[in-house]
Structure 1
Amino acid sequence: MAYPGSLRYGNGMIAQPVRKRVLVTGGAGFLGSHLCDRLVADGHDVLCVDNYFTGRRDNIAHLLAAPNFEVMRHDVTLPLHVEVDEIFNLACPASPVHYQFDPVQTTKTSVMGAINVLGIARRTGARVFQASTSEVYGDPTVHPQTEDYRGNVNPLGPRACYDEGKRCAETLFFDYRRQHGLRIKVARIFNTYGPRMHPNDGRVVSNFIIQALRGEDITLYGNGNQTRAFCYASDLIEGFLRLMASDDGVTGPINLGNPHEIPVRGLAERVLALTASSSRIVFRPLPQDDPMQRCPDITRARELLGWTPTVGLDEGLRRTIEYFDALLKAGLKSSRS
């Protein structure tokens, strides 16, 4: 597959990539910064927008000297007037610790942020990508989850600000397409991990690694038999770029995640083994509405995008452990920036 933005001639030759002006909201976050890396490396002009609620300057510091990279401190709930060819909308806190801190603002970020980026796309004719989430499926009664499953979401629970905010954002994207003919792309992201995860985001991978490296008890909620499927960051970013580069008729939603399912307790045991930690596993009550099973059916992604994850869990965990080990040795300075 030609890399995103490239042109293929009838003789099979691939032309130089088309240089695009690309807006990435939430660009200083975990996934946003990795996406900015790829776009800058591919020669595009990148505008990274972030309000630094969960994004960190350290994530993008290495890009600041690049002539085709620009950063703007801005909240997507407020209007933004820029001229771009493509928009990746990644702005929203994605872990329960952060999105439950200010649930009203979380809902505003999903809904008003979607309206604002869709407004830019309508005015400029840009393609616009929505980073949705597997949380739209709630605590699923269908397993693995396919894109036509409508979900089992509690609209009144503590996770609803994120779950329903993302569901509403998807509605807005498809209504703007029907009403205004926008070129939209919607990806439903399953559990993703890797370097630049926020050290205090409360997600299982970062929690387990930091607890293991510190020799602290590893905290499991419930009995640890609930399952998750973990996708390494670079694999997910490749999925983003392939979806954005696909034909206009491919709108999504498309599941992006690793279909290899593992019990949360099994993840904790692998982290213990890879860190050679003496930490103990302890159990705590399961939070309200925490799903028991979460695993993507990625048939659409394979068929429409030619995409499948390539980084194995142990290799991805080793890379992530190296990142957090370096942070801890540096006194977690990056977590305060």
Structure 2
Amino acid sequence: MPDQRLQSRLYQDDLSYYAALPIDWSRLNGKTIAISGATGMIGTFLIDVLMRRNAETDFQCDVIAIGRSAERIRARFPYADDGHFHAVQMDVSVPGACPDMPADIVVHLASTTHPRAYATEPVATITSNVIGLKNLLDYVCRSDAAHRGDGIDFVFASSVEVYGQNRGDTERFDERYCGYIDANTLRAGYPEAKRLGESLCQAYREQYGVRPVMPRIARTYGPTLHTDDSKALSQFMHRGLAGEDIILKSEGAQRYSYAYVGDTVSGLLYCMVQGKVGEAYNIADSGSDCRLRDLAALVAECCGVKVRFELPDEVEAKGYSKATLALMDGGKLAGLGWKAKYSIRQGIERTLRAMRGI
């Protein structure tokens, strides 16, 4: 992520806001939290929030940042001299992989999360969510966290995609809904792996006493997105900031739930601190529901460019979701006190400004 984003006043203000959320931070004080996918869009924001909490309050939380590249971790995070920050180079999908340091809470965020990768790295898409998850569940067991206290000790970042395609019998997915997924397709690897991952969490809960929670994440965006992210909204913003027209590779009638990365991270924290063991929670707010073509138009308006329509190439088409209506019901998480800070327009405008270094 370019330095101008890290230095952006808007980004820094967001870190302070989310580090002061009205949750019971005492449940995390003095704990060691291991986070896989540390350099991903959500992982980087979560780590920055925890480290900001350490810096601005009397908060003593150790963070273990797990990623495939120690060099990338060091380049991303300015905490090399901070005793609360620990970088661990590890590919979680390698069978038996496990950090040396024990952790009280493990947050599994490592996952392939964009269409081109689903098509070009289909095996890693599955293994990071199954083998990687098993490794980290074993890790929390070996850390003895599974045998202490009664709070959440494992957070598995699930996805809206576990719901599959809307069967036409609901407008919004609540946590009990189960839609259709054609398992005999390449694209099914991601949602099926997330479904199996949730089941694996429940199995470890029953057999080994792990205390998991499964936040189901909406389509997330924000200033921590990567330049190689092939999700439609990410590409809209990269092109718009470069002064290029937005390319829409469908009619844009798809209607999805979106979330600003800070609101996704706050949802994770609410699940971690106030969620119920074994439960799934949608991280979504109706103020960020949007049709894809309206999203393209919004980015184009903010960047002063136009929207053009093109057919996707063969690789892109393989990675696209078939779901055309995937709106999430966030009422269960709202019942814990969570609420989104930004609507879709506010979040997009803020992201684009932060990416410009404002």
TM range (shorter): 0.7 to 0.9
Say which of 157, 167, 192 aligns to 1:131: 157
The match for 2:282 is 255
Distance (Å, rounded) in 1 between the aligned partners of 2:92 and 2:296: 36
The match for 1:282 is 309
Aligned: 1:308 with 2:339: yes
Residues matched between the structures, number? 314
Structure 1 residue 71, shift from structure 2 partner: 1.1
The match for 2:239 is 211
Q: Which has the higher helix share?
A: 2
| Gapped regions of structure 1 (runs ≥ 5) | 8-16, 328-337
Is the partner of 1:82 in helix, strand or coil? coil
Distance 1:59 1:315, change over 3 A: farther
The match for 2:268 is 240
Contact 1:29 1:59 in 2 (8 A): no
The match for 2:64 is 47
Q: Amino acid of the residue matched to residue 92 of structure 1?
A: S
Structure 1 residue 39, shift from structure 2 partner: 1.7
Distance 1:266 1:176, change over 3 A: same
CA RMSD of aligned residues (A): 2.3
Say which of 35, 39, 42 aligns to 2:46: 35
Distance (Å, rounded) in 2 between the aligned partners of 1:315 and 1:59: 29
TM-score (norm 1): 0.86
Deviations 1:146-203 (A, max 9, x none): 1101221121222212111111111100111122221111111011110110122111
Aligned: 1:193 with 2:213: no
The match for 2:3 is none
Contact 1:100 1:161 in 2 (8 A): no
Contact 2:65 2:73 in 1 (8 A): no
Is the partner of 1:110 in helix, strand or coil? coil
Q: Amino acid of the residue matched to residue 287 of structure 1?
A: A
Question: Which 10-residue stretch deviates more, 216-225 or 58-67?
Answer: 58-67
The match for 2:78 is 62
| Gapped regions of structure 2 (runs ≥ 5) | 1-20, 55-60, 147-152
The match for 1:330 is none
Sequence identity percentage: 28
Contact 1:192 1:232 in 2 (8 A): yes
Distance (Å, rounded) in 2 between the aligned partners of 1:280 and 1:22: 43
Distance 1:265 1:50, change over 3 A: same
Distance (Å, rounded) in 1 between the aligned partners of 2:134 and 2:281: 21
Distance (Å, rounded) in 2 between the aligned partners of 1:59 and 1:92: 20
Say which of 315, 320, 323 aligns to 2:351: 320
Distance (Å, rounded) in 1 between the aligned partners of 2:78 and 2:117: 25
TM-score (norm 2): 0.81
Structure 1 residue 63, shift from structure 2 partner: 3.1
